[in-house]
Structure 1
Amino acid sequence: MTSVWRSLADVPADLGPTVVTVGNFDGVHKGHQAVLTELVAAARARGAASVAVTFDPHPKAVHAPDHQPELITGIEDRIERIARTGVDGIVVQEYTLDFAMATPEEFVRDYLVDGLGAVAIAVGRDTRFGRGNAGDIETLRELGRQLGIGIDIVGDASDSHAGARRWSSTWVRELLDEGDLRAAAKILGTYHRLRGRVIHGLKLGRQIGFPTANLDVYAGFIPRHGVYAGWLEVVDPGGNAAAVSLVGERLPAAVSLGINYTVGTDDLRVEAYVLDHEDLDLYGARVALDLVEWRRPMLDFGGIDGLVSALHEDVAWCRSVLNA
């Protein structure tokens, strides 16, 4: 069971020696997983606890608040995916401008060694840390010598074939922008996930035989607009008694993500039609939406009849993709 701490003050005083890694871990893709797996192995070899330190909000959101980064995953999914690698603990450090003022030496000495009891640090080759991102691998090696702690450097991770591109969050975002959800899932090691709260919409879907759950998305990178096959899961009923029995159940869904040109809306909408659940009531519930495959872009079908015909085809395609 992985412990989650929201500050150094929450970390048990008797935790003992640790091996630590530090990163934003956006998406927790296979490259991140390689670092975290090495962290766990290095900690076990030393008889220490493995601890991953990550940040919330993302540092870019603090240093450039007018240019918020588009994160692949929200903090809930980041924590869940880090925990799956078997780490003993996760510190979700609140990132502030004051915190960012620590020099590389202060961060390693005061935060990691004195604060977390680190006897070793495991990181990827591209790690940067400390004020102005001034610290790099060579800085870390020198600090390791000064402080008497081990430094484990994990090489770039990629597919095994020659010339393979290294796994990265940038690559995942590119694939999501292209609508290549299958390729993105290979790098992430899981489906791309959106999280949102179900809200009231125009209720047009109910009138034409395709009632949808309209999501107010609060976490997850918005991929290429269009129609997707996916899985909807209720994670919190949010006071909706009708949704309680569905918590944790994965429901096959046809997902529309974008602007509905046919009915003249001009705002981004994320709607999920759960197959074979025409009377589903999820209002107020928080749900996760795992996107499996992109089918087509958002189109103007010229009227309701054309839209209904297209939706029948979309649902049939989703059944095939999801084997539902």
Structure 2
Amino acid sequence: MRISRRPRHLGKPSAVTIGSFDGVHRGHQQLVQALKEQAASRGLTATVVTFEPQPREFFDPEGAPARLSALNDKVRRLAELGVEHLVVLPFNASLRSMSAARFVDDVLIDGLDARWVEVGDDFRFGNDRRGDADFLRQYDFDVAEMPSQRLGDARISSTAIRTLIADGRLNEAETLLGEPYTLTGRVIYGRQLGRTIGVPTANLLLKHPKLATTGVFVVNALHKGRTYQGVANLGPKPTVGDLRPWLEVHLFDADPDLYGERLHVQLLHRLRGIERFDTLDALKDQIQADIQAARAWFS
């Protein structure tokens, strides 16, 4: 998959879908599947246009909802789905001031040479909010509007998934996502406190500070084709006075050298919330109890 920061086509016209794609859930996957089919039948490049940061984060950084997926997770998921070209437009003051008509002219027509464009039925673009499927139909390319997808009685949406994750209903969230809820980051050096108490950890300092959930979780950690079982603390570490958004993973029966490596961590089951302990001994005892509970969950 090719990744661009500005709209440009890759030598042939494009089939395009546009959106935030937070979580790349099953509704998004239906959009991408239709995109790929149309691109293949028409000889076009299957192209996804998304934004970084997400528009709501630009307009209201404090009030925007927690991210389901950082950009690197979004890239991974869209590549796995077979997208050929991902255009990540910087959402800044210039893009924010762009009208729907200018977006079509500059991005879809001049930039991507779009011949087929698909949007969800709840998607709007442009500073005038005029950009929807009906607006697009006045242009000289074919337009498809995808209705909201449902699974049983549940509407598949990033908002619904965010609520499930916050409530600890990870199995239901996985059903709507199409995979376990996954966080990705690069392993960095922490305080190495875990090693001093016999519980070495891989430490990931997450780039998106507003988390969809916090707590202690049973996890799978994926690295270079291998899967490790483990337990993880997601969120601040109040016992040691660190309030940053850490993902601290202890792997069972393995201690690979992961420093500098990218790790994909799947949250499988929530054991408890974040707690502050009065002593390191109390923290150590709780960690051992968490490890036992996680091993029992796997067995």
TM-score tier by shorter-chain length is: 0.7 to 0.9
Equivalent in the alignment of 1:243: none
Equivalent in the alignment of 1:296: 272
CA apart distance, 1:137:
2.9
Tell me which of 155, 170, 175 is aligned to 1:186: 175
Q: Which amino acid aligns with 2:145?
A: I
Equivalent in the alignment of 1:240: none
Distance, in Å, in 1 between the alignment partners of 2:94 and 2:214 is: 38
Q: Is residue 73–residue 220 contact of structure 1 (8 Å, CA) maintained in 2?
A: no
Tell me which of 141, 144, 147 is aligned to 1:152: 144
CA apart distance, 1:66:
5.5
Residue 18 in structure 1 maps to residue 14 in structure 2? yes
Distance, in Å, in 1 between the alignment partners of 2:130 and 2:266 is: 37
Q: Work out the percentage of aligned pairs sharing the same amino acid.
A: 32
Q: Is residue 195–residue 218 contact of structure 1 (8 Å, CA) maintained in 2?
A: no
Distance, in Å, in 2 between the alignment partners of 1:165 and 1:314 is: 32
Q: Which amino acid aligns with 1:217?
A: L
TM-score normalised to the size of structure 2?
Answer: 0.87
The structure where strand makes up a greater share of residues is: 2
Tell me which of 165, 190, 198 is aligned to 2:154: 165
Equivalent in the alignment of 1:222: 211
Tell me which of 238, 257, 277 is aligned to 2:254: 277
Give the secondary structure class of the aligned counterpart of 1:34: helix
TM-score normalised to the size of structure 1?
Answer: 0.81
Distance, in Å, in 2 between the alignment partners of 1:41 and 1:220 is: 37
Equivalent in the alignment of 2:45: 49
> Alignment RMSD, CA only?
2.6
Give the secondary structure class of the aligned counterpart of 1:156: coil
TM-superposition CA deviations, 1:132-166 (whole Å, max 9, x none): 4232233223x2xxx3321111111011x3xx121
Q: Is residue 72–residue 220 contact of structure 1 (8 Å, CA) maintained in 2?
A: no
Q: Is residue 231–residue 249 contact of structure 2 (8 Å, CA) maintained in 1?
A: yes
Structure 1 residues 300, 231: closer, same or farther in 2, change over 3 A?
same
Q: Which amino acid aligns with 2:146?
A: V
TM-superposition CA deviations, 1:24-48 (whole Å, max 9, x none): 1111111111111111122233333
Q: Is residue 3–residue 89 contact of structure 1 (8 Å, CA) maintained in 2?
A: yes
Structure 1 residues 219, 252: closer, same or farther in 2, change over 3 A?
farther
In structure 1, the gaps of 5 or more residues are 235-246
Q: Structure 2 matches for 1:1-324, cutoff 5 A?
A: 2-9=1-8, 11-12=9-10, 14-15=11-12, 17-65=13-61, 67=63, 69-141=65-137, 143=138, 147-159=139-151, 161=152, 164-219=153-208, 222-234=211-223, 247-260=224-237, 263=239, 265=241, 267-268=243-244, 269-277=246-254, 280-299=256-275, 303-322=279-298
Q: Is residue 196–residue 215 contact of structure 1 (8 Å, CA) maintained in 2?
A: yes
Distance, in Å, in 1 between the alignment partners of 2:61 and 2:210 is: 18
Structure 1 residues 309, 58: closer, same or farther in 2, change over 3 A?
same
Q: Is residue 21–residue 122 contact of structure 1 (8 Å, CA) maintained in 2?
A: yes
CA apart distance, 1:63:
3.2
Q: How many residues align?
A: 298
Q: Is residue 23–residue 54 contact of structure 1 (8 Å, CA) maintained in 2?
A: yes
Structure 1 residues 283, 305: closer, same or farther in 2, change over 3 A?
same
Q: Which amino acid aligns with 1:79?
A: V
Q: Is residue 181–residue 291 contact of structure 1 (8 Å, CA) maintained in 2?
A: yes
Distance, in Å, in 2 between the alignment partners of 1:110 and 1:305 is: 61
Q: Which stretch has the larger CA shift, 38-47 or 119-128? A: 38-47
Which has the higher Rg, Structure 1 or Structure 2? Answer: 1
CA apart distance, 1:195:
2.6
TM-superposition CA deviations, 1:175-203 (whole Å, max 9, x none): 22122222211111112222334344443
Structure 1 residues 321, 223: closer, same or farther in 2, change over 3 A?
farther
In structure 2, the gaps of 5 or more residues are none
Distance, in Å, in 1 between the alignment partners of 2:285 and 2:68 is: 33
